[in-house]
Amino acid sequence: MEVMSARLARRVIAGVDEAGRGPLAGPVVAAAVILGSQVPDGLADSKQLSPSRRERAFCAIVETAAAIAVRAVSPRRIDAVNVLQASLSAMREAVLALPVFPDEVWIDGPWRVPGLPGLQRAVVGGDRTCPAIAAASIVAKVIRDRMMRMWDRVYPGYGFGQHKGYPTRAHVDALQRMGPCPIHRRTFSPVVACQTRRIS
């Protein structure tokens, strides 16, 4: 048992998660995180944390992690291949961008990542049970939220800084009033419906 524990302790595991599959606008962002010997307190599913707690956890992860890589997939790519395939692509790119390739990759959700060499483990609810995946979920969410606040300045009036592109009532109202902007996902139903109404 002690030999097995020592062997496991030497294994390099990367946690992988994404943010942004559900929004009507903006990218999908994926993060891969290899935690260091010091694991920050308070790691949890990013959706369960307040924005201020996410930011604090993000800073702690950046300070202590052995390696972090982040990749984003554009709305045009999402429209071209569908959001699931775009998410898996972003995850693969994030893992391949790590400066150290892990012995095993643990991915939040039921899907393994196509085209990724080495061992993989798909962990449903992993952002609630695996610290490395929770760290990846926080990194992906914080980076994407920052991107959406930037896009809010580029395309004012949609409220991207508040709802981050998710289909809130305020977002749908703005979409119906102003039509889609370049970062809207043209294949998502509320955006399609808005375009159809404006054409007719």
Per-residue confidence (pLDDT) for residue 191, from 0 to 100: 95
Query: What does the domain layout of the chain look like in residue ranges?
Result: 2-156
Q: Which two tokens stand for residue 158?
A: 């949609």
Instruction: Return the closest-CA partner of residue 74 out of 194, 192, 182, 179.
Output: 182
Q: For the segment 79-135, what is each residue's pLDDT rounded down to a tens digit? A: 999 999 999 999 999 999 999 999 999 999 999 999 998 899 999 999 999 999 999
Question: pLDDT category, 3, cuts 50, 70, 90?
Answer: very low
CATH code given to domain 2-156: 3.30.420.10
Distance in angstroms (rounded) separating the CA atoms of residues 63 and 61: 5
Q: For the segment 8-64, what is each residue's pLDDT rounded down to a tens digit? A: 457 899 999 999 999 999 999 999 999 999 999 888 888 888 999 999 999 999 999
Per-residue confidence (pLDDT) for residue 46, from 0 to 100: 87
- The DSSP letter of residue 193 is H
pLDDT above 90 for 175? yes
Whole-model pTM: value is 0.91
What are the residues facing 14 on neighbouring strands?
Answer: 105
